[in-house]
């Protein structure tokens, strides 16, 4: 019997993770009272979803997790492993320790990826917190993530939350500031630095709406991170508001707080190359979006004549041609073929997802 997983919550991330598991041959059942899962995965109750499942994935917003864990507890049977996928780990770890204890195997995790990363075949790092009472469950959950291409990283809950407060939470905080201020980062005359921030804002906007508040309200270290950032910005603001002294016409005499230090010893040519690479990546994503539209048209044409989404023969021909094209350009044909295999996986997933919505 293959892997079986029950999802409590099948929103944007839960469904992406669940569909990726399905692609490995796993059995997935999902219960979500707020947004019913697709009929083929749907369970009519929490108990039905859990029945016979090896893994129980708690994929609801962090503020709802404690209540869901309490509801799940009496339905669990020996051997079932509970894991969460929240972006904060201190609270969920504490709740699982209290609710499940040593009787029910549990593991706190945070996948550092989302639906787009899954679709594009990007490296899928995932934090898996060690649990002294359930080391075998930790190993099983790590193997579950590895089955979908995940790269488990072991971190204690508090260590994770400190790092996320400085990175994940502050990134959302800064992006939210630009949004609330109504800054136009997409102006035709915007410099590369502004366009880079625009991409950050766009990435934040694509995430689930509840995530911003959870990153700050549920992470015990986010308050301190925000205060430190705001204090630093206030100091810079006060310095910028002071009258300019005559000596400051000499760049060497500008106060240190108003200087932007160079990024270590990185050569300027390398920095410029990175900026161009970022722009090319944006263009690649635009092309991928156009390709996705065309793949949907192809899927519809197949459906009209009763053919399935996947055409293995056509895919092999495509990959062979791409290898030849790569060889003609003095590129590694194997690496290029792997890239197009990821593109094909993305196209199939996109077709399947849009088909369920229609």
DSSP codes of every residue in 140-198? HHHHHHHTTTEEEEE--HHHHHHHHIIIIIHHHHHHHHHHHHT--TT-TT--HHHHHHH
Task: State if pTM tops 0.85.
Answer: no
Residue 203 belongs to a domain: yes
Examine the domain organization and report whether 243 and 302 are in the same domain. Answer: no
Examine the domain organization and report whether 286 and 193 are in the same domain. Answer: no
Examine the domain organization and report whether 232 and 306 are in the same domain. Answer: no
Mean predicted confidence (pLDDT) in 328-357: 82
Residue 267 belongs to a domain: no
pLDDT at 249: 59
Mean predicted confidence (pLDDT) in 74-96: 96
In terms of pLDDT, which residue wins out, 297 or 7? 7
pLDDT at 117: 65
Mean predicted confidence (pLDDT) in 277-289: 86
Examine the domain organization and report whether 220 and 306 are in the same domain. Answer: no
Q: How confident is the model at residue 156 (pLDDT cuts 50, 70, 90)?
A: very high
Point out the domain boundary residue: 258, 289, 306. 258
pLDDT at 218: 94
Examine the domain organization and report whether 252 and 344 are in the same domain. Answer: no
Q: How far is CA 173 from CA 95, 162, 169, 177, 229, in A?
A: 26, 15, 6, 6, 10
- b/e code 195-229 from CB counts within 10 Å (16+ = b): bbbbeebeebeebeeebbebbbebbebbeebeeee
Structural domain that includes position 73: 4-155
Q: What is the mean pLDDT of the chain?
A: 87
229 Cβ neighbours under 8 A, 6+ residues apart:
170, 173, 174
Count of structural domains within the chain = 3
Q: How confident is the model at residue 118 (pLDDT cuts 50, 70, 90)?
A: low
Q: How confident is the model at residue 54 (pLDDT cuts 50, 70, 90)?
A: very high
Residue 84 belongs to a domain: yes
Q: Which of 103-107, 154-158, 285-289 has the lowest mean pLDDT?
A: 285-289
Q: Is the pLDDT of residue 73 over 70?
A: yes
Examine the domain organization and report whether 11 and 39 are in the same domain. Answer: yes
């Amino acid at each position: 019997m293959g892997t079986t997983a029950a999802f409590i919550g099948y929103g944007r991330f839960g469904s992406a993770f669940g569909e990726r598991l399905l692609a490995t041959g796993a059995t997935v059942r999902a219960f979500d009272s707020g947004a019913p899962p697709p009929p083929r995965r749907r369970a009519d109750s929490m108990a039905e979803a859990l029945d016979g499942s090896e893994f129980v994935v708690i994929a609801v917003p962090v503020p709802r997790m404690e209540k869901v864990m309490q509801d799940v507890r009496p339905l669990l049977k020996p051997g079932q492993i509970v894991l969460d996928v929240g972006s904060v780990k201190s609270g969920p770890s504490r709740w699982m320790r209290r609710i499940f204890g040593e009787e029910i195997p549990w593991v706190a995790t945070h996948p550092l990826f989302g639906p787009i990363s899954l679709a594009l075949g990007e490296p899928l790092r995932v934090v898996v917190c060690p649990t002294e009472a359930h080391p075998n469950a930790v190993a099983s959950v790590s193997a579950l993530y590895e089955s979908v291409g995940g790269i488990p990283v072991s971190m204690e809950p508090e260590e994770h939350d400190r790092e996320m407060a400085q990175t994940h939470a502050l990134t959302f905080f800064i992006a939210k500031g630009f949004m609330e201020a109504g800054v136009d980062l997409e102006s035709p005359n915007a410099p590369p630095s502004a366009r880079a921030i625009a991409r950050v804002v766009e990435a934040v906007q694509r995430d689930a709406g509840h995530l911003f508040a959870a990153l700050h309200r549920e992470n015990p270290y986010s308050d301190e991170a925000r205060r430190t950032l705001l204090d630093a910005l206030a100091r810079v603001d006060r310095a910028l508001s002071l009258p300019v002294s005559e000596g400051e016409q000499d760049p060497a005499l500008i106060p240190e707080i108003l200087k932007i230090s160079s990024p270590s010893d990185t050569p300027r040519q390398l920095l410029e190359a990175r900026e161009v690479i970022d722009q090319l990546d944006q263009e690649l994503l635009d092309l991928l979006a156009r390709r996705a539209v065309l793949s949907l048209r192809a899927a519809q044409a197949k459906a009209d004549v009763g053919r399935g989404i996947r055409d293995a023969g056509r895919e092999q021909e495509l990959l062979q041609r791409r290898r030849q094209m790569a060889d003609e350009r003095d590129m590694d044909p194997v690496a290029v073929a792997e890239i197009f295999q990821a593109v094909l996986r993305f196209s199939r997933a996109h077709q399947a997802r849009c088909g369920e919505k229609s």
